[in-house]
């Protein structure tokens, strides 16, 4: 690898307290501190965030798309996990 | 081979259902290639596009104008970075994209190969060039590739400021002294046609467009976007009391659109081929800035390594 190559970081922003951090994109930086500074310039020029997380992209483990079926399909047939599965008469209120 | 066909069919059905493709999803190799080419070209345009405007930062006529122009040019850097980051999700490295730009293998919007000799150009660019870009980018917020669509949403939020500040600059000139108004008109004369060329060749000359539309990378044809832009912009020109430099421009009641003259496609292809007024200068400047920055990138890496080492050592000692 080139010695002037900076590694890739994923950037997450919390737009305001009460909300989770949300992925907004990535950027290159030599270290975490620089990644935070670059993230401020690249992703928060219009007060889009009040808190920034940066994570080296290589540290993220993602589920594989071809495992979508085995991973997520089982929950599709568990309809009893949803409130609409249960028949409650309309006369019963507040439920 | 058989499975491949059905994978592609599934992909098409998925896209037809208005579903977004995300980086790790299966995609046809040509879809990936097309996107890498388009997104990196788009990124390069944002980056090279800083040059014609940066030309006026030190000579802006007021502090207010200077602050606005600085913020605008900084936004364009940001746009380039969102887009490079979107292209990287497809497996293309930043280094490769930069070297393709510098070697001339990758293209960027040919509009940025025109010079900016007048302050009025700072207005005309924001108004027309960013305006034409918006026309295209609003469509791309609905493109089928997720990271590209998301980058476009961010970009479009910022572009509106670009266009409005540009129009304001032109408006001040158009409503100023006769000399100032002439400046505005002269600038419009130079930028009108290149702005229309920004939408690319006519539909019948644009063979890749059909596939891009099928994959929903593009959602509207070049000619449709161009017509929308003309229809929107002509009244804005009239409001300023300026004249569109096109003798054939005429409202067509039956079509409900403006008819306009024939674009000089020879000029378009000539500029793409590298023969525009500023092609060489733009790339030379990019190469120079990149090379002059090499020691900074190296030093930052060396510093980061040292810091990491130091942390490790104190960690071990504790
Ligand atoms: Fe932009
Ligand atoms: Fe812009």
Q: What percentage of chain B exceeds 70 in pLDDT?
A: 97
In this prediction, residue B4 carries a pLDDT of 60
Overall average pLDDT of the A61-72 stretch: 79
Q: What tokens appear for B205 in the block? A: 């000359």
pLDDT band at A17 (very low <50, low <70, confident <90, very high): very high
Across the interface, do A25 and B82 touch by the CB < 8 Å criterion?
yes
Residue B216 has pLDDT above 90, yes or no: yes
| pLDDT digits 0-9 by tens, B10-33 | 999 999 999 999 999 999 999 999
Residue B63 has pLDDT above 60, yes or no: yes
| pLDDT digits 0-9 by tens, B84-141 | 999 999 999 999 999 999 999 999 999 999 999 999 999 999 999 999 999 999 999 9
Which residues does chain A have within 8 Å of residue B297's beta carbon, measured at their own beta carbons? 4-6, 30
Query: How close A94 gets to chain B, by Cα (Å)?
Result: 37
Overall average pLDDT of the A9-14 stretch: 97
Q: What is the mean pLDDT of chain A?
A: 90
In this prediction, residue A71 carries a pLDDT of 72
Ligand nearest to the CA of B130: 2
Q: A4 and B303 in contact (C-beta within 8 Å)?
A: no
In this prediction, residue A78 carries a pLDDT of 85
Q: Which residues contact A55 (CB under 8 A, 6 or more apart)?
A: A9, A10, A12
Across the interface, do B78 and A45 touch by the CB < 8 Å criterion?
yes
For residues A26 and B147, give the distance between their C-alpha atoms in angstroms, rounded to a whole number.
11
Which residue of chain B has the CA closest to A39? B78
Which of A8, A25, A29, A37 is the best residue to mutate to test the B interface, defined by the most B CB atoms within 10 Å of its own CB?
A: A25
Overall average pLDDT of the B248-267 stretch: 97
Residue pairs spanning A and B at CB distance below 8 A: 59
Q: What percentage of chain B exceeds 90 in pLDDT?
A: 93
Overall average pLDDT of the B133-157 stretch: 97
3-state DSSP of A3-69: CCCCEEEEEEEECCCCCCCEEEEEEEECCHHHHHHHHHHHHCCCCCCCEEEEEEHHHCCCCCHHHHH
Could you tell me how far CA A34 lies from the centroid of its own chain? 21
At B257, which helix (H) or strand (E)? strand B257-259
Residue B178 has pLDDT above 60, yes or no: yes
Q: Out of B75, B147, B303, whose CB is closest to A30?
A: B303
Ligand nearest to the CA of B159: 2
Residue A57 has pLDDT above 60, yes or no: yes
HSE at residue B180, side-chain half, CA atoms within 13 A, is 12
For chain A, state the CA radius of gyration: 21
In this prediction, residue B316 carries a pLDDT of 65
Q: B195 and B268 in contact (C-beta within 8 Å)?
A: no
Overall average pLDDT of the A68-93 stretch: 84
Of B202, B270, B258, which Cα lies nearest the Cα of B234? B258
In this prediction, residue B179 carries a pLDDT of 98
Poorest-pLDDT segment among B171-175, B248-252, B306-310: B306-310
In this prediction, residue B5 carries a pLDDT of 66
pLDDT band at A1 (very low <50, low <70, confident <90, very high): low
How large is the ipTM? 0.89
């Amino acid at each position: 690898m080139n010695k002037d190559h900076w590694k890739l970081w994923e950037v997450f922003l919390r737009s305001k307290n009460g909300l989770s951090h949300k992925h907004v994109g990535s950027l290159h930086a030599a270290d975490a501190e620089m990644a935070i500074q670059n993230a401020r310039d690249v992703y928060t020029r219009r007060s889009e965030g009040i808190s920034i997380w940066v994570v080296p992209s290589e540290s993220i483990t993602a589920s594989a798309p071809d495992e979508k079926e085995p991973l997520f399909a089982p929950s599709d047939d568990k309809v009893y996990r949803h409130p609409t599965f249960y028949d409650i008469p309309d006369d019963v209120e507040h439920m | 081979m058989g499975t491949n066909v059905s994978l592609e069919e599934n992909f098409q059905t998925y896209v037809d259902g208005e579903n977004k493709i995300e980086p790790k999803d299966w995609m046809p190799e040509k879809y990936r290639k097309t996107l890498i080419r388009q997104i990196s070209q788009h990124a390069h345009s944002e980056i090279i596009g800083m040059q014609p405007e940066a030309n006026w930062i030190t000579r802006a006529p007021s502090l207010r104008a200077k602050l606005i122009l600085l913020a605008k040019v900084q936004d364009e850097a940001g746009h380039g970075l969102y887009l490079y980051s979107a292209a990287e999700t497809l497996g293309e490295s930043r280094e490769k994209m930069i070297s393709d730009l510098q070697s001339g293998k990758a293209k960027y919007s040919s509009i940025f190969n025109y010079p900016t000799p007048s302050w009025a150009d700072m207005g005309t660019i924001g108004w027309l060039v960013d305006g034409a870009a918006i026309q295209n980018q609003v469509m791309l917020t609905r493109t089928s590739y997720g990271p590209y669509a998301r980058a476009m949403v961010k970009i479009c939020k910022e572009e509106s400021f670009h266009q409005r500040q540009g129009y304001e600059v032109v408006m001040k000139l158009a409503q100023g002294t006769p000399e100032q108004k002439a400046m505005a008109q002269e600038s419009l004369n130079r930028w009108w046609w290149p702005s229309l060329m920004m939408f690319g060749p006519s539909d019948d000359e644009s063979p890749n467009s059909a596939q891009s539309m099928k994959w929903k990378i593009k959602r509207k044809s070049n000619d449709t976007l161009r017509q929308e832009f003309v229809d929107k912009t002509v009244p804005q020109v009239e409001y300023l009391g300026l004249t569109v430099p096109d003798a054939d421009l005429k409202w067509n009641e039956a079509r409900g659109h403006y008819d306009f003259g024939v674009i000089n496609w020879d000029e378009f292809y000539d500029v793409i081929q590298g023969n525009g007024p500023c092609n060489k200068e733009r790339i030379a400047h990019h190469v120079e800035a990149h090379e002059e920055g090499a020691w900074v990138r190296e030093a930052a890496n060396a510093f980061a390594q040292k810091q990491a080492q130091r942390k490790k050592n104190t960690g071990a000692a504790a």
